[in-house]
Amino acid sequence: MTDLDVNKAESEALVAMMYKQTDKLNGHIDEIQRVVNQIIQDPALSGHWKDSWQGAQQMIDNEQKNMIQQFHQGSGLLNNVTEAYKDVDKVAAQYFM
């Protein structure tokens, strides 16, 4: 196995780990959203506290959107690296095989 194969395998493993961690994090965020929604729906909650929890909910929404955007940017970069490995493999095959 060449260094290129090792780097390629490491990149693919990193992409898989990113997807797994993002799914896990999204699960936690969904659970937090569920609890916040329950709190907001509580009839005993009113005025300032309800506004505060709704503000917290908006912050969570924004952070989740930012996280997803950053994940897509990161996975896009890793996909570019993977494509570059494929190109290098093609060139290497022409000259070294």
pLDDT of residue 36: 82
pTM beyond 0.75: no
Tens of pLDDT, residues 34-88? 888 888 788 777 777 778 888 888 888 888 888 878 877 777 777 777 777 777 7
Tens of pLDDT, residues 8-42? 778 778 778 878 887 888 788 888 888 888 887 88
pLDDT of residue 8: 73
pLDDT of residue 41: 83
Domains delineated in the chain: 3-96 (1.10.287)
In our burial notation (b when 16+ CB lie closer than 10 A, e otherwise), range 42-69 reads eeeeeeeeeeebeeebeeeeeebeeeee
At residue 1 the predicted structure's pLDDT band, cuts being 50, 70 and 90, is low
